[in-house]
């Protein structure tokens, strides 16, 4: 029995036939797995190897090389907040502190089941919208400390701070 849904199996097969070599399809394959599961597990890597002929070492190398791929469970909403110079000058540090306060408060209430995780990211490449953050794949521009509560509340109820 497959660890992948039928629709994910079809996507993987589609990517493998679209590219000249199976190895070339690894990035979209990993994106598809993460879109469905949130991360790439060891059983999924094994299935990619046994069923689709992808080298398990290569899969693990790609996962460990790119920050976007996760080899461990992640929370429902992954926040990536840009901390480059432009974002920093426009209030990133204060906004990041506010996000951390919310995560800490939610974790106190919910434990490990809190909805948010935060990763400070070197650059998200959108300086004209600084400060900028990603919530999963949704880009949020002008994510200042004044807007953090409003932005996070869109995804999950927030505790009173």
Per-residue pLDDT tens listing for the chain (161 residues)? 889 999 999 999 999 999 999 999 999 999 999 999 989 999 999 999 999 999 999 999 999 999 889 999 889 999 999 999 999 999 999 999 999 999 999 999 988 788 999 999 999 999 999 999 999 989 999 999 999 999 999 998 888 77
pTM equals 0.78
Domain ranges of the chain: 6-65, 77-153
Q: Which CATH class is domain 77-153?
A: alpha beta
Q: Are 75 and 117 in contact (CB under 8 A)?
A: yes
Distance of CA 55 to CAs 5, 61, 134, Å? 21, 10, 31
């Amino acid at each position: 029995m497959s660890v992948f849904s039928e629709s994910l199996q079809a996507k993987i097969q589609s990517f493998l036939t679209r590219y000249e070599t199976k190895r070339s399809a690894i990035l979209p394959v990993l994106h598809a797995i993460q879109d469905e599961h949130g991360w790439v597990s060891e059983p999924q890597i094994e299935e990619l190897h046994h069923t689709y002929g992808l080298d398990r070492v290569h899969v693990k190398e790609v996962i460990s090389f790119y920050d976007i791929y996760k080899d461990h469970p992640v929370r429902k909403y992954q926040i990536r907040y840009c901390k480059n110079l432009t974002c920093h000058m426009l209030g990133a540090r204060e906004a990041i502190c506010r996000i951390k306060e919310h995560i800490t408060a939610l974790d106190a209430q919910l434990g490990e089941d809190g909805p948010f995780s935060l990763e400070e990211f070197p650059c998200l490449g959108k300086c004209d919208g600084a400060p900028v953050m990603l919530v999963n794949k949704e880009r949020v521009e002008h994510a200042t400390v004044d807007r953090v509560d409003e932005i996070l509340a869109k995804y999950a109820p927030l505790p009173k701070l």
